[in-house]
């Protein structure tokens, strides 16, 4: 399913659309959450399966995405819009949600719009904020970031083995020609610092990923949202998460694995083991046909788990 923002000409191809919505096992009268609305592809599919008594709460930090969500809510009273990150999932009523969907990463309209500064393929302001109404841009952070801090960010969030070389190159560039202001400037600096390139991958890929994750606190937000899902999901409620890179997927995989096994508190050997809170964990990858239609789907992984009954 392709969806286009009414305020933009950029087209978004919703990844794993049917698989993710099928995994939620939508009940007509249930309350569902699209924790990362984007351009609304998953939300519209959920609404098609909801009845008049059902409801859908959508979260997003991106003002453009919120404009799309508000337009949808204006025509469908079942939709509730929250202009905030999905770390606010825990503000919903405990145990009242039948399903939570998280579609992580950056949407195609964000990548393809040079003004957003997410892509090294298009020159634009070096921004990368999901929410352009608040917080520092990457350019602002890079004005004063220490080499050690940049190195840590690039290494941890980009898994870039030339992290220190990139950080030092950015520092030299600042001293010689002033602060970096555009994506093309940053991409050029990184290209000069990364000694070898992975086949088919731009040398700036890992650094751009690292700075985007850092400036938006993406992994911290994801952990908060995953933890909150255990509180808001009703028994037998479904959690479905689509991730696009190894850092996210590793976090989701470990979270589901941890909460799908019985926990024994070794400090209290005679205590009853804590029951598992998730079960029926599944993994789905995009089909070859979907990847052929949309190459950006090639790295997607859908992980699904069911909230278990916990005895009082």
Q: For residue 120, is it within any domain?
A: no
Residue 4 confidence class, pLDDT cut points 50, 70, 90? very low
pLDDT in tens, 171-229: 999 999 999 999 999 999 999 999 888 887 899 999 999 999 999 999 999 999 999 99
Residue 115 lies in a domain: no
The share of the chain scoring above pLDDT 70, in percent, equals 91
* 102 shares a domain with 8: yes
What CA–CA distance (Å, rounded) separates 259 from 231? 13
Residue 6 neighbours by CB under 8 Å, 6+ apart: 67, 68, 71
Asked if residue 127 is part of any domain, the answer here is no
Tens of pLDDT, residue by residue over 253-294, are 999 999 998 765 566 666 566 678 999 999 999 999 999 998
The CATH number of whichever domain residue 151 belongs to comes to 1.10.150.170
What's residue 7's pLDDT? 39
Enter the tokens of residue 64: 């453009």
pTM score, whole prediction: 0.89
| Same domain? 105 vs 253 | yes
Is residue 1 predicted with pLDDT exceeding 50?
Answer: no
Q: Indicate whether 198 and 249 sit together in one domain.
A: no
> CA nearest 216: which of 299, 102, 303, 137?
137
Residues 87 and 147 in one domain: no
Q: Is 91 found in the same domain as 11?
A: yes
Total domain count, the chain? 2
Say which residues have a Cβ less than 8 Å from residue 221's Cβ, sequence separation at least 6. Answer: 85, 86, 87
Cα 272 off chain centre by: 36
- The answer on pLDDT for 10 being more than 60 is no
Sequential DSSP letters for 21-59 = HHHHT--TT-EEEESS-TTSHHHHHHHHH--TT-EEEEE
Domain containing residue 18: 2-109+218-307
Same domain as 139, residue 285? no
CATH code of 265's domain: 3.40.50.150
Q: Is the predicted pLDDT of residue 5 greater than 50, yes or no? A: no
């Amino acid at each position: 399913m392709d969806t286009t923002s009414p305020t933009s000409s950029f087209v978004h191809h919703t990844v794993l659309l049917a698989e993710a919505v099928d995994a939620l096992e939508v009940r007509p009268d249930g309350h569902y959450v699209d924790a990362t609305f984007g351009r609304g592809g998953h939300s519209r599919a959920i609404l098609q399966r909801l009845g008049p008594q059902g409801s859908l709460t959508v979260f997003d930090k991106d003002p453009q995405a919120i404009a799309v969500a508000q337009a949808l809510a204006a025509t469908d009273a079942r939709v509730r819009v929250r202009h905030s990150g999905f770390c606010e999932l825990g503000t919903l009523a405990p145990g009242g949600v039948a399903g939570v969907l998280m579609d992580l990463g950056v949407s195609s309209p964000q990548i393809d719009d040079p003004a957003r500064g997410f892509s090294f393929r298009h020159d634009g302001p070096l921004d990368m904020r999901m929410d352009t109404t608040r917080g520092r841009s990457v350019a602002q952070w890079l004005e004063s970031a220490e080499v050690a801090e940049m190195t840590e960010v690039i290494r941890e969030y980009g898994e870039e083995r030339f992290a220190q070389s990139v950080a030092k190159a950015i520092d030299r560039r600042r001293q010689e020609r002033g602060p970096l202001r555009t994506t093309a400037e940053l991409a050029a600096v990184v290209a000069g610092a990364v000694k070898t390139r992975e086949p088919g991958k731009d040398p700036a890929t890992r650094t751009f990923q690292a700075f985007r994750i850092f400036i938006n606190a993406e992994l911290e937000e994801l952990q908060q949202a995953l933890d909150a899902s255990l509180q808001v999901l009703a028994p037998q409620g479904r959690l479905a998460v689509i991730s696009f890179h190894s850092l996210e997927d590793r976090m989701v995989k470990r979270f589901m694995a941890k909460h799908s096994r019985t926990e024994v508190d070794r400090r209290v050997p005679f205590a009853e083991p804590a029951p598992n809170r998730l079960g029926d964990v599944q993994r789905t990858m995009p089909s070859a046909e979907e990847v052929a239609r949309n190459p950006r789907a090639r790295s997607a992984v859908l992980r699904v788990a069911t909230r278990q009954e916990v005895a009082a």
